[in-house]
Amino acid sequence: MTINQPGLWMEDGQGKGPKYWVFFGDLFTVKATGEDTGGAYALVEFVVKPHNGPPPHIHTRENESFYVREGEIEFHLDDQTIVATAGTFLHSPKGQRHSFINPTDKPAKMLVWVTPAGLEKFFAEAGVVAEGEWTVSPPVRPDELEQILAISAKYGLQIVPPSS
């Protein structure tokens, strides 16, 4: 069976799909969706604002790979902490507890591959569409965490509560 799928091409700063404010003010720009790749992967650029990042979580359906383009990101992969700077690549397999934070006072950028695709739909549902040329994230919504928790299971995402 042959699948004829068109190639993708875009320049830096472009996104195939919409941009979303997700996880309390981080900007996610969709570069390629599952529809673009036959479900093989999704590619999303994350701009992580200073001192921000998602809570610890586990993906039950997909692997996540990260390539830091600018700045510094502190990753927590199970019990390991890795400080990643520009040019660093990390892979978090399905089932691994992980989180990350930008520990600096400047935004950090990274490309995130999700294999197989599908998690980009979570970002769309959990986030707020960033229309136009946003430079500052909107205020955190009071219901944002509750919304993320409410839809996480639908996408096979387990948010890990903090240890007591």
Does 145 have pLDDT greater than 90?
A: no
**pTM reported for the whole predicted model:** 0.86
Segment 19-48 shows an average pLDDT of 92
State pLDDT tens for residues 84-124.
999 999 999 999 999 999 999 999 999 999 999 999 999 99
- Least confident span in 13-17, 65-69, 114-118: 13-17
Could you say which architecture CATH assigns to the domain 19-131+141-159?
Sandwich (2.60)
DSSP states along the chain: -----------TT--SS-EEEETTTEEEEEEE-TTTTTTS-EEEEEEEPTT--PPSEEESS-EEEEEEEESEEEEEETTEEEEEETT-EEEE-TT--EEEE--SSS-EEEEEEEESS-HHHHHHHHSEE--S---SPPPPPTTHHHHHHHHHGGGTEEEPPPP-
pLDDT (0 to 100) of residue 49: 93
Q: What is the residue extent of each domain of the chain? A: 19-131+141-159
State pLDDT tens for residues 124-134.
999 888 876 65
Does 13 have pLDDT greater than 70?
A: no
